[in-house]
Amino acid sequence: MKITCAKDRLNHAVQTVQKAVAAKATLPILSGIYLSAQDNKLELQATDYEIGISCTIDAEVDIPGQIVLSGRYFQELVKRLPGESVEISSSGEDRTIKITAGSSQFNLLSLPAEEFPVLKSLFDKTTGINSLTIKDNVLRDLIKRTVFACATEESRPIFTGALLELTEQDVRMVATNTHRLALKKSLTENTNSSNALKIVIPSKVLNELARLLSSELPVDISICWEKNKVAFNFEDVYLESRLIEGQYPDYNRVIPPDFGTIATINTALFMDAVERVSLMAKDGEYNVIKFQFNPNEVIITSNNPDIGKAYESVPVTTEGTDITIAFNAKYVTDILKNIGSSELYFSLNTPLSPASIKPTNDDNYTYIITPVRTN
């Protein structure tokens, strides 16, 4: 192999695929980045078998070929190379790859390219495959508004991922750890789906995908999936992920159809008060804080015998009956950080039934939170 390419493009490609490089590689080859050069293109790939990412850039290809370089050292090196362009060539004699830029010259040991599990694009399959097209800003929003609600502990794997579902009216994402649930819908007319979509994608992959969806102008994302896999294709990137198997629970049953109390609250004031009150609850077993909804204010309190007591009052407009209820403070602050709206509705029924927090300006975003029983 012998190629020349722009340093900035190479750095972009390396940064794009590097999150798929296995951190603790059970197989040494998975700690590498695969480079394949042909037809004036250089493709970089990395995979840890959960997530696989490929990025293709323009290159001047003098001699086509495939090599694998240590992900860690190649990434660190490319980031720091001087000048505008980089030349990469294999010697053929030994296992080293020569990387030249300006007056810098490096010989990196390579890994055996024939051992690398090269990604095969799902989009190239002709049978048993389903597909959908969606705008990147829509997908990014679905992810960012929900993925934080996934479970972090692995005891029930299905909840470590988020559900991506296509209904007749919308495309939606749902995440829950069974104590709280986030649902975001996007009304879609333009989705061009060949089949039903109901898949559970690991939260780690979704976070990585959201990071890569950073184009300034909206671009189309093609999604295609089969039984155990989903793949995303946009610009110069191909990303595939294993799916989490199992039956996702019926989340519609969790969402109360109506509420006896609805409070309208300023998000920033509420957020600050909840964060201060939760300081005095931090070491408590469940980080529990109490909310007393009155017609014109919500009184937020906590009491930790080892630290002290907190009392806050935030102005609200409450319709319906007064109610006192307790929540895990973290589950409240999580949604306040992600709600993206200056005002919210906090809707409740009884001290022991699920409540809802919604932005006032987006009826397609719902967050359900289960209260904590207190004495």
Question: In the complex, which residues of this chain contact its own copies (CB under 8 A)?
Answer: 70, 73, 76-77, 80-82, 96, 103-109, 272-273, 275-276, 279-280, 306-314
Helices (H) and strands (E) in the chain, counts: 6, 25
The residue among 108 and 129 lying less far from its own copies, judged by its C-beta, is: 108
The residue among 95 and 125 lying less far from its own copies, judged by its C-beta, is: 95
The residue among 107 and 342 lying less far from its own copies, judged by its C-beta, is: 107
Min separation Cβ 282 and its own copies, Å? 8
| Torsions phi, psi for 277 (to 5 deg) | -65, -35
The residue among 158 and 307 lying less far from its own copies, judged by its C-beta, is: 307
Min separation Cβ 317 and its own copies, Å? 17
Rounded Cα distance, 77 and 319, in Å: 61
The residue among 288 and 314 lying less far from its own copies, judged by its C-beta, is: 314
DSSP state for residue 360 in the 8-state scheme: T
- For 20-51, b where at least 16 C-beta lie within 10 A, e where not — what string? bbbeeeeeebbbbbbbbbeeebbbbbbbbeeb
The residue among 193 and 313 lying less far from its own copies, judged by its C-beta, is: 313
How remote is the C-alpha of 100 from its chain's centroid? 36
Min separation Cβ 290 and its own copies, Å? 14
Min separation Cβ 313 and its own copies, Å? 4
Look at residues 138, 199, 135, 140 and name the one whose alpha carbon lies nearest to residue 166: 199
Look at residues 299, 371, 269 and name the one whose alpha carbon lies nearest to residue 329: 371
Min separation Cβ 338 and its own copies, Å? 20
Min separation Cβ 323 and its own copies, Å? 20
Helix (H, G, I), strand (E, B) or coil at 24: coil
